[in-house]
Amino acid sequence: MGSTDFMMPPDPAGPQSKSRNEGGSARRPVESYRMKWRNIEAGGGYYYITGTVAEWLSLLSRDDLRRAVCHEIKIALARFSASLAAYVIMPNHLHVLVHLPKDGDLHRFCKCWRGRSARRIIDLLLRGSDHEALDIFGRHANGRCKYASWKEQVRALYITKEATLLQKVNYIDGNPVRRGLAAEPGDWPYSSFNWYEGGREDILPLVIPEV
């Protein structure tokens, strides 16, 4: 990865952390998932944002949950007059590259899509009686809610350099290939790659970044 003004520390969960969909059985205590991370509100501009499902459960491979999350991201984009430059929805996490025009909107933007999508995810799991996922999310609840479907907070990096912005777009597009989910970036339908390549109508509204 290219250099950025703020470097992302290693994920405490580590690469060995497996979801139930990836064959892992042993689980760490909930306390080991507490992250030492502080997002920096750096004013209006581009932010590279990562959201991860609690315990890396591969729930975003479900079409109904993935669409629910995308719907709430659309609402947040419109509410904050934000534009989406790139995205990828992976089975257990997502990346979005978002331009927020106003100072101070990072926290509110993330709280909007994350909070609304969390409620939608829990509602769909309750309807489907997915007790295994609900039990895991219940262990991650912090007292103010019964379930926590996302890890403690999203991670956001402020992008100040043109080269870093373009690198993040390429990183997002290549994520499914690096994870072994697709042979080519265009084979993965839940990213911005095919919109850039052929102008295909996408599940999320995209805007070419101004660099």
Per-residue pLDDT of 132-154, as tens digits, reads 999 999 988 877 789 999 987 78
CA distances from 203 to 28, 32, 56, 87 (A): 35, 35, 23, 10
Is the sign of the CA dihedral 127, 130, 133, 139 positive or negative? Answer: positive
CA distances from 143 to 4, 138, 140, 147 (A): 35, 10, 9, 9
Side chain identity, residue 101: P
Residues counted in the chain: 211
**pLDDT at position 208:** 86
CA distances from 185 to 79, 166, 174 (A): 30, 16, 6
pLDDT 10s digits, 61-116: 999 999 999 999 999 999 999 999 999 999 999 999 999 999 989 999 999 999 99
Q: What is the DSSP letter of 56?
A: G
